């Protein structure tokens, strides 16, 4: 048979042939039952298509995308907590650093505190920036 990509009727025929397979009854005890957002019928979570009558809604892709989005939101929430902690650590390091500077005027060990705390504050700050960048990227990433 000649196959023309711009022949819509040909495509329709192919779809009908494909989706006129005998419908399998839904097993009500299956943990993978989902409601098709297009036709409202029950289908299986991992079905490529809905299969309710002529409904050809892409079930698997739709729910894969939903799950991916939820996963990304959870990841974002975790990163935001991490970011908050790093801001607190950075501030604590900075305050300790200043305290070390003051102590250094009383005893040389204060300068040691100044350098160590100052270094840690920089490390925490850098890590915080990295986390912030990761958070920003979550909204812009494409679903694969
Ligand atoms: Zn459907």
Query: For 16-66, what is each residue's pLDDT tens digit?
Result: 445 445 556 788 888 999 999 999 999 999 999 998 889 999 999 999 999
Report CA(4)–ligand 1 centroid distance (Å): 28
Report CA(41)–ligand 1 centroid distance (Å): 6
Query: Helix-strand-coil percent breakdown of the chain, rounded to 5?
Result: 60, 5, 35
Q: Under a CB-based contact definition with an 8 Å cutoff, are residues 52 and 41 in contact?
A: yes
Report CA(34)–ligand 1 centroid distance (Å): 10
Does the global pTM surpass 0.75? no
Q: Quote the CA–CA distance of 51 and 58 in Å, as a whole number.
A: 9
Report CA(43)–ligand 1 centroid distance (Å): 7
According to the model, what pLDDT value does residue 23 have? 56
**pLDDT score of 69 more than 60:** yes
According to the model, what pLDDT value does residue 56 have? 93
Rounded mean pLDDT, 109-119: 96
Q: Is the dihedral of CA 47, 52, 58, 59 positive or negative?
A: negative
DSSP 52: S
């Amino acid at each position: 048979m000649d196959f023309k990509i711009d022949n819509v009727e040909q495509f329709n025929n192919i779809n009908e042939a494909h989706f006129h397979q005998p419908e399998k009854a839904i097993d009500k005890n299956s943990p993978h039952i989902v409601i098709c957002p297009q036709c409202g019928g029950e289908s299986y979570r991992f079905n490529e298509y809905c299969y309710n009558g002529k409904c050809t809604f892409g079930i698997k892709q739709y729910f894969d995308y939903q799950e991916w989005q939820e996963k990304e939101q959870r990841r974002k929430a975790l990163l935001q907590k991490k970011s908050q902690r790093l801001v607190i650590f950075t501030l604590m390091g900075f305050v300790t650093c200043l305290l070390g500077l003051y102590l250094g005027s009383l005893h040389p060990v204060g300068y040691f505190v100044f350098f160590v705390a100052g270094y840690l504050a920089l490390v925490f700050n850098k890590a915080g920036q990295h986390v912030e960048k990761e958070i920003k990227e979550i909204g812009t990433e494409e679903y694969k």
